Structure 1
């Protein structure tokens, strides 16, 4: 197999796995109203369920990345995918809040392997030409976010949520098996002993990059946590809510493509200012509009919510220390996923105190906080 063919196969399989894991992560939102009705859970406890999954995934990002530097990354990725599947199988047999927490923790732990290993695999396979393929890999995650919640909403009209999770687990096993056909992940090259002054300056911006990613993710998680309850208050049915999530995630996928193009032409600073500013305006618009106009607005909300991330992800290899791509991606994803774990819990407390509208407003306010960090990051990046 030629190098190009092997790189394309790596991209195809990592994209499949990314779609599966991101779909697993976000189908939780479709299940929240069902779990609330069946188990009598408050907003805080529902947010904690989402936080447990994201927290387990965030906590193990760096260990997974470091383990992959010493062992076969493919084996770790396949095992992690199988563990994510097992967690959802357990969730299908759970009888209450504690069982759901334990099951989602298992699934989140399995998903911790995906981002650092798969991202680094694509980066190493394509080398200096990796920014475009990394964008494709990130786009595949949004396809999973759109497809699995929509599929889940359809399955829920045909069977119980417990049986629906077993169907989704079977899809996960297919993705785990596909990893066996991925080419070996190229090992890191030895780091150069000296770095140029400009190189050091760009790496100095890595904490700022992580801060922007964390705040951007927090705003997205806040919006998604309260979206089903906002739509319910406007009279939406369960299938409509599932379709609404699909609309947001399809818009998000389009946003990653569009903002990747914008990022190359406008730069990171202008792109972040544009996407985060639009996020604030569109969240407030969706809150105030009636059901049908709010649904029509959701694809645009998705574009704005996910637009920033595609620029940030593509910048990680540029800032990463030489030969430590897995570790850099692991640290970055720890920041963004850890934020995604903590933010819904905090928003849940706000929602319990003031209702879903206050939680949504908190998400919009968080998006505003990214703007000064983007201004500070700009001098650290190459043009």
Structure 2
């Protein structure tokens, strides 16, 4: 019985040396790549001045990274079947570092665009492969480690952007990017060292292994439930970058310096990390539906407050905005294994990340970037609040399809 054997092995030693090494490697890698992705927000005002860009073009720059990241999620899993998950994760981190190195050396806008696309291609490897490695390693105990993995990504967001924001005050932006590229090469070596080389755990991409993370009796929830989850992920992932895209410019309008912008983004990301931890706990206590309704409503309210309040009040509010912006994603990621069609958890993770991140990437230049150019950052940020509210009817439709383990006990 392959599934039973896997369950026994995974549950017998969930905190063993191998499990910890997988979780550490995935978490460190996630921190770097999420830091890479959101570092772009700090660089946008600099690139705007350097290349005389409009908001739509700035949104396109971010999309080149995040869109490539999203589009290559499924191909990354296919590549891992040939090369092994460990090798693809290490290679992806090296490629992302090279992308930022080339961005620092770019002599014009086209070269910068190519470098960002290269960086996004490297970052496409870590979400589906790291998530599925944790899922296979921990079996039915994977929800907690997956939450830890997601939390690690926000730690990277809280460290990398403010670090570079500070360096930008004393270094040229190109030198700062070469430094962060070098960090990527170091992290690639760390991941290669930590991840086990056992081919049976790294190379195998079989359904009987990934099914083990699903609760008994919930191997098949239907395509409609998973489709609703993906749609919610698209809207949630669109609202977050739509606001963050314009946050530096909103803050600068209120009188913030570049260093303050970096610290402000750090406050949002620290709040996001806390939000993932808090909302994971809240989801277990009050249920997925109530938690998502709370975070999306809170996102809309706090984003609107950030638009109208003065700088001091906004800086105080930013950690709470981070909690609301990122809290939903913690609940959604933990629900993917439950609703995975046919129990194919790895494939479900790849599809979820592809559509949720890809939808966000396309919406940034096509919708929010155009709104910014036409009506200014205030109305574009307001649109992000409306996007968060659009999640509510979809979540109400998904609620009946969730298992009893995702709703609060009445006893």
Range class of TM-score, shorter chain: over 0.9
Aligned pairs, how many?
380
CA distance in 1, matches of 2:217, 2:186: 47
CA distance in 2, matches of 1:137, 1:223: 24
Moved more, 47-56 or 321-330: 321-330
Q: Judging changes above 3 Å, is the alpha-carbon distance between structure 1 residues 59 and 100 closer, same or farther for their aligned structure 2 residues?
A: same
Question: Does residue 23 in structure 1 map to residue 35 in structure 2?
Answer: yes
Moved more, 59-68 or 142-151: 59-68
CA distance in 2, matches of 1:97, 1:200: 47
- Give, in angstroms, the shift of residue 265 of structure 1: 1.2
Question: Does residue 169 in structure 1 map to residue 181 in structure 2?
Answer: yes
- Give, in angstroms, the shift of residue 158 of structure 1: 1.6
Question: Could you tell me which residue of structure 2 aligns to residue 86 of structure 1?
Answer: 98
State the TM-score, normalizing by the size of structure 2.
0.89
Question: Does residue 68 in structure 1 map to residue 80 in structure 2?
Answer: yes
CA-based RMSD of the aligned residues comes to: 1.7
Kept in 2, the 8 Å contact 1:203–1:380? The answer is: no
Kept in 1, the 8 Å contact 2:219–2:343? The answer is: no
Question: Could you tell me which residue of structure 1 aligns to residue 353 of structure 2?
Answer: 333
Q: Which ranges in structure 2 are unaligned for 5 or more consecutive residues?
A: 1-12, 405-411
CA distance in 1, matches of 2:181, 2:216: 48
Question: Could you tell me which residue of structure 1 aligns to residue 273 of structure 2?
Answer: 253
Question: Could you tell me which residue of structure 1 aligns to residue 378 of structure 2?
Answer: 357
- Give, in angstroms, the shift of residue 188 of structure 1: 4.3
1:282 to 302, 306, 312: 302
Kept in 2, the 8 Å contact 1:66–1:326? The answer is: no
How is 1:189-204 mapped onto 2 (pairs within 5 angstroms)?
Answer: 189-191=206-208, 199-201=219-221, 204=224
State the TM-score, normalizing by the size of structure 1.
0.96
CA distance in 2, matches of 1:246, 1:280: 20
CA distance in 1, matches of 2:100, 2:87: 21
- Give, in angstroms, the shift of residue 106 of structure 1: 0.4
Kept in 1, the 8 Å contact 2:220–2:340? The answer is: no
Q: Which ranges in structure 1 are unaligned for 5 or more consecutive residues?
A: none
CA distance in 1, matches of 2:294, 2:329: 13
CA distance in 2, matches of 1:14, 1:67: 18
Question: Does residue 211 in structure 1 map to residue 236 in structure 2?
Answer: no
Q: Judging changes above 3 Å, is the alpha-carbon distance between structure 1 residues 377 and 323 closer, same or farther for their aligned structure 2 residues?
A: closer
Kept in 2, the 8 Å contact 1:69–1:326? The answer is: no
Kept in 1, the 8 Å contact 2:73–2:125? The answer is: yes
Q: Deviations over 1:181-206 (max 9, x none)?
A: 212435345548xx998643355411
Task: Tell me the SS of whatever aligns to 1:7.
Answer: helix
Structure 1's consecutive aligned runs of 4 or more residues displaced over 6 angstroms after TM superposition are none
Kept in 2, the 8 Å contact 1:61–1:330? The answer is: yes
Question: Does residue 38 in structure 1 map to residue 50 in structure 2?
Answer: yes
How is 1:273-352 mapped onto 2 (pairs within 5 angstroms)?
Answer: 273-321=293-341, 324-345=344-365, 346-352=367-373
Q: Judging changes above 3 Å, is the alpha-carbon distance between structure 1 residues 70 and 321 closer, same or farther for their aligned structure 2 residues?
A: farther
CA distance in 2, matches of 1:210, 1:322: 16
Question: Could you tell me which residue of structure 2 aligns to residue 369 of structure 1?
Answer: 390
- Give, in angstroms, the shift of residue 378 of structure 1: 0.9
Question: Could you tell me which residue of structure 1 aligns to residue 3 of structure 2?
Answer: none
- Give, in angstroms, the shift of residue 98 of structure 1: 1.1
Kept in 1, the 8 Å contact 2:220–2:342? The answer is: no
CA distance in 1, matches of 2:95, 2:218: 42
2:135 to 116, 123, 127: 123
Question: Could you tell me which residue of structure 2 aligns to residue 223 of structure 1?
Answer: 243
1:266 to 269, 274, 286: 286
CA distance in 2, matches of 1:86, 1:148: 17
How is 1:124-139 mapped onto 2 (pairs within 5 angstroms)?
Answer: 124-139=136-151
Kept in 1, the 8 Å contact 2:132–2:349? The answer is: yes
